[in-house]
Amino acid sequence: MTESFDKIIAEIREALNISESEEALRELRARYLGKKGTISGLMKNMRDIPNEEKPKFGSLVNQLRQDAEDAFQKKSAELREKALEQRLKREKIDVTLDRNSDRLGAMHPLNQVYYEVRDIFRKMGFEVVDGPEIELEKYNFEMLNIPKDHPARDMQDTFYVSDQIVVRTQTSPVQVRTMLKHKPPIRIISPGRVYRNDDVDATHSPVFNQIEGLYIDKGVTFADLKGVLNEFLRKLYGQATVTKFRPGFFPFTEPSAEVDATCTICGGKGCPACKGAGMIEVLGCGMVNPKVIEDCGLDPEVYSGYAFGLGLDRITNIKYGITDIRLLYENDVRFLKQFI
Ligand code: DAH
């Protein structure tokens, strides 16, 4: 009798040895320990056992049940342990690994340079004002002394929303808006997007960024303009920067000038970026045309002022030696991560 019990427990142990899932364990348990299982079946043999041996038989079956139970418990614990081990292995995090700095966000170079420009002008007392990108033709052209037949108004260059409304081609209309609304002294810069119907190439983009500057007060002279712009360009490009004010033309300033600064790429020696000149054009400026001042409701006999407009894309490209404006708008991470 004990022999057959030993055989049963040996059978169970063997089956457990090769069971690798809770599912298999459940099946085995049902087969041996379930209501209709082998061990419960043994109890049914009780009737055929002589009375004096019944207690012994009973206790042996109970012992067998206990041993089987223990074997199942042990195996079940082993399986749980193994599963936990595998899970830990799968979810392991090595906290000593270097973090992936590729994923770190950074400020776009246009923003970096804009903030730099803004801070330089703020320290000189300029306030930042905003203007709309959808603008009245009257402010974008007419009141800036750009007459109806001026080539700048050409449908080829300007995106028209309607007869009287354009997508602004320059930030200069903010000058008009500011003079119409505020009494001098006025000292503002106004950054923003501008739009022109240009085909995209290395130096043209239909959307780009300008920063407009305007100072209106009593007794403002060209010397003030030169002083402020020289200071600005030296702060932005370095103290050794040399500037050159060349006569230029803009309908809303008189006299007007175009300003060159030492080429930052070659330091003035001459290179392909500055076409060998050692200097590169960085902005346009001039004394605000008295007609513009008057049209905005201020007395040009009392007030004078200067204005300037700089291309943010241009000065950013010069600062970093970027030779293709498209890079600023494609958002290629290989480009952007160089400015972290
Ligand atoms: N608005 C001009 C342009 O888009 C740039 C400019 C030149 C602005 C001279 C000015 C200025 O305020 O005085 O080309």
Q: How many CA atoms lie within 13 A of 43 on its CB side?
A: 14
Confidence of residue 114 (pLDDT cuts 50, 70, 90): very high
pLDDT, mean of residues 108-136: 97
Confidence of residue 155 (pLDDT cuts 50, 70, 90): low
CB 307 within 8 A of CB 252: yes
Residue 101 has pLDDT above 70, yes or no: no
| Chain segment 167-210, per-residue pLDDT in tens | 999 999 999 999 999 999 999 999 999 999 988 998 889 999 99
Residue 149 is predicted with a pLDDT of 86
| Chain segment 276-321, per-residue pLDDT in tens | 999 999 999 999 999 999 999 999 999 999 999 999 999 999 889 8
Ligand 1 center from residue 305 Cα (angstroms): 14
Question: Pick the residue with more confidence: 326 or 272?
Answer: 326
Q: Which of 157-166, 180-189, 239-248, 261-270 has the lowest mean pLDDT?
A: 261-270
Residue 291 is predicted with a pLDDT of 97
Decide: 190 in ligand 1 pocket, CB within 6 A: no
Q: Mean pLDDT score of the chain, rounded to an integer?
A: 92
Decide: 308 in ligand 1 pocket, CB within 6 A: yes
> Which residue's CA lies nearest to atom 5 of ligand 1?
309
Q: For 102, which DSSP code? A: G
Residue 255 has pLDDT above 70, yes or no: yes
> Which residue's CA lies nearest to atom 12 of ligand 1?
308
Decide: 172 in ligand 1 pocket, CB within 6 A: yes
Residue 2 has pLDDT above 80, yes or no: no
pTM of the predicted model, to two decimals?
0.71
| Chain segment 17-43, per-residue pLDDT in tens | 998 988 998 899 989 988 888 888 888
Mutate which of 126, 195, 252, 314 for ligand 1? The one with the most ligand atoms within 8 Å of its CB, which is: 252
Of 85-99, 112-126, 190-204, which has the strongest mean pLDDT?
A: 112-126
| Chain segment 137-150, per-residue pLDDT in tens | 999 999 999 988 88
Cα distance between residue 144 and residue 252, in whole Å: 5
pLDDT, mean of residues 155-169: 90
Ligand 1 center from residue 31 Cα (angstroms): 92
199-206 LR contacts (CB < 8 Å, sep 24+): 200/326, 201/326, 202/323, 202/324, 202/325, 202/326, 203/325, 204/325, 205/313, 205/325, 205/326, 205/328, 205/329
Decide: 243 in ligand 1 pocket, CB within 6 A: no
Residue 156 has pLDDT above 70, yes or no: no
Residue 1 is predicted with a pLDDT of 65
Q: Which of 64-73, 95-104, 240-249, 257-266 has the lowest mean pLDDT?
A: 95-104
Mutate which of 308, 310, 312, 315 for ligand 1? The one with the most ligand atoms within 8 Å of its CB, which is: 308
Residue 104 is predicted with a pLDDT of 72
Decide: 178 in ligand 1 pocket, CB within 6 A: no
All residues at 6 or more sequence positions from 289 whose CB lies less than 8 Å from its CB, including other chains = 145, 251, 252, 253, 254
Token pair 């260059």 is found at 157
